Amino acid sequence: MSRIDYSVWDHIEVSDDEDDTHPNIDTPSLFRWRHQARVERMEEFQSKGEEINKSLMECRRKLAETQKKLQELSVASSDDAKTELNKVQAEEKKLKKEERDWSKKMEEHRREEKKMPWNVDTLSRDGFSKSIVNVKPEVGQETEEEKEQKHKTFVEKYEKQIKHFGMLRRWDDSQKYLSDNPYLVCEETANYLVIMCIDLEVEEKHALMEQVAHQTIVMQFILELAKSLKVDPRGCFRQFFSKIKTADQQYQDAFNDELESFKERVRGRAKIRIEKAMKELEEEERQKRLGPGGLDPVEVYESLPAEMQKCFDDKDIQMLQEVISKMDPTEAKQHMKRCIDSGLWVPNAKVDVEGKDEEPTYEEVKQEQEETKKE
């Protein structure tokens, strides 16, 4: 038989019943003052906890709105959207820090509450008059690393099933597939479908992209319905299909408008990705072209005077000598140095390893020109 732990009674504050007061002091009045002071301290402590909790909930609400806006902007393509995206990302970072600070304060407040001694007021509270409701406990805010790992793990496990759902067309087929695979009704599926749409648009599979986009909006509508009803998405997806199949024109129009808007955002995002890939490819090719001095031969060639460009085009050394003789020596030397740094010319070499003629340096061209004049 287990023994009852009475240690919780070791620190009980019941000073209202103390008898060791001075004979000249009005004992009942002293007890009332003490009681009133303690009640005020308790009310102040409780009010402080309510304020902290209120601030925490408000911070989490703002953070959720910011993250939703961030997700919408991530598929936008305009310059204004990019600027706004940077602002929203900064706001999200700020709110995350505030949320951590308020959570820490709330935890400290709860620890202080547990340490507070019991008294006649708390002892007399009815501890068994409340109803217990089986609700889902509030989940702490996940970090970006945790979200990324959760998404990666989910996709690795269910990628095949997500793709199958993305290819479905009929309402009944979608509903049945989710009934057989209810774990797919979640944010991770919606996020993967968004990425899948962008990939298909980049690959120019436009018709297939539009099909998967339809299923993406289906999942988004289910998740939004779950939020509005404050229930698990897996418990309300049948309500969505029942509603959409018998929907009035207004609800159907809302679905179609969101679908068209989403497809436009996907096209914009795909365009940005393609442009970025092209720039990276161009930069990679440019890095391969760089000469011994770190200059791009294409850029150097385009910066040369037209007369010098023609010399390179025709590989005419005599013409190059004439062009240089007419140029300012300082300017000519600068152009020649840039040609060497870019690899257009190889200095101190007349013949390369293959036996082909190499273009001379500026000094060599000048020397040949002077020797020609002497002759």
Is pLDDT larger for residue 204 or for residue 112? 204
Query: CB atoms < 10 A from the CB of 273, how many?
Result: 15
Percent of the chain at pLDDT exceeding 70? 72
Would you state the pLDDT for residue 119?
A: 53
351 - beta bridge partners? Answer: 357
Pair 347, 309: CB distance under 8 Å: no
Q: To which residue do tokens 């929203």 refer?
A: 88
Pair 168, 214: CB distance under 8 Å: no
CA distance 166 to 212: 5
Q: What is the mean pLDDT of residues 245-272?
A: 89
Mean pLDDT of all residues belonging to the chain: 77
Annotated domain spans of the chain: 25-115, 145-285, 290-342
Q: pLDDT of 286-321, one tens digit each?
A: 777 777 777 888 888 888 888 888 887 887 778 877
DSSP code for 3: P
Would you state the pLDDT for residue 313?
A: 82
pLDDT over threshold 80, residue 362? no
Q: pLDDT of 35-49, one tens digit each?
A: 666 667 777 888 888
CA distance 180 to 12: 57
Is pLDDT larger for residue 346 or for residue 55? 55
Residue-by-residue DSSP string for 303-316: HS-HHHHHHHHHT-
Pair 95, 59: CB distance under 8 Å: yes
* Fold type of domain 145-285: Methane Monooxygenase Hydroxylase; Chain G, domain 1 (1.20.58)
Is pLDDT larger for residue 214 or for residue 235? 214
Question: Nearest Cα to 194, choosing from 272, 269, 85?
Answer: 269
Distances (CA, A) of 181 to 162, 170, 176, 178, 189: 10, 16, 9, 5, 12
Is pLDDT larger for residue 22 or for residue 219? 219
Q: What is the mean pLDDT of residues 125-142?
A: 47
Residue-by-residue DSSP string for 242-293: HHHHT--HHHHHHHHHHHHHHHHHHHHHHHHHHHHHHHHHHHHHHHHH--TT
